[in-house]
Amino acid sequence: MRMIRSQRLVLLFAFSSAALAACGGGTNVQVSWTANRETAVNSQGGGYKVYYSKNPGFDIGTASSLDVPFKSAPAAPTSATLHNVSSGTYYVKVVAYSALIGPGGRASTSAPSAEVSVVVP
């Protein structure tokens, strides 16, 4: 069991996509995935969300996330960096989404990918 240093706990408390993107230095986690083949994911309003948590088997509904929207053709980005991550084991899942509206007004989002883990020293 790795010790968690106290100053990193503060950062972890502030784990949101905005905070992560803004902070410099420290440990980063690079998440990447295979591009989805749906046109709508790789179009305006489409993209991915990276969800992460320290709890294995976490529910994305209550987890932190980083939005990775489509920016320009031909495809939405297939990687993202979580900045200044405190030490510990993190669990990560990726969801793809599009601007289409599904039946019954449902948002067009994928099921979460398989969960992967990364140990941050």
Partner 1 sequence: MERLHTALHGSRIVLGMAVSMTLLPALAPSHAATSIRRPWDNFVPGEVLVKFKDSQLRAQSISRQAGQALQELEPAGLTHVKLRDDQAVEDAIAAYGQDANVEYAQPNYIYTVQAVPNDSLFGQLWGLQNTGQTVAKGQAPANPDPTHNPGTAGMDMNLAPAWDVITDCSSVIVGVVDTGLNYTHEDLAANLWSSTDAAYPNHGSDFVGSGGNDPLDLNGHGTHVSGTIGAVGNNGRGTTGVCWKAKLMALRACNTVGRCTSASEIAALNFGVRNNAKVINMSLGGPSMDQALSDAILSASNNDVVVVVAAGNEGANNDSTATYPCNFHLPNIICVAALDQAYALASFSNYGATTVHVGAPGVNVFSTWAGAETTITDNFHTAPLWTANPPASAWTYEQRPISGRTFDLMLDPSTFPNGTYHANADERVYKTFSLGPARVAVLDFLTQFTLASGDALNVHFRADGGDPFAGGTQALHATGSTSGRIIAPPEFDISSCITANCTVGFQLRSMTGPPPSGGGAAILAFQITTRQLNNVTYNVIEGTSMATPHVTGLAAMLRAYNPNYTVADVVNSIKSGGTTLASLAGKTTTGKAVNALGSLSYINAPTGVTAVVAH
Instruction: State the residues that interact with partner 1 by CB under 8 A.
Output: 27-34, 36-41, 48, 81, 90, 92-98, 100-103, 106, 108-114, 116-121
The distance of closest approach from Cβ of residue 14 to partner 1 in the complex, given in angstroms and rounded to an integer, is: 20
Shortest distance, position 100 Cβ to partner 1, whole Å: 4
Report the alpha-carbon distance of residue 86 to residue 26 in Å, rounded: 8
In angstroms, give the least distance from the CB of 2 to partner 1. Answer: 13
Measured distance CA(104)–CA(88) in Å, rounded = 41
**Of residues 73 and 114, the one with the C-beta less far from partner 1:** 114
SS3 65: strand
Which CB sits closer to partner 1, 19 or 88?
88
Which helix (H) or strand (E) element contains residue 6?
Answer: helix 6-13
Contact partners, residue 51, CB within 8 Å, separation at least 6? 58, 60, 63, 64, 65, 92, 93, 94, 95, 112
In whole angstroms, the minimum distance from the beta carbon of 10 to partner 1 comes to: 20
With respect to partner 1, which residue has the nearer C-beta, 69 or 102? Answer: 102
In the complex with partner 1, the residue whose CB is nearer, 16 or 79, is: 79
Tokens (6 digits) for 24: 């410099």
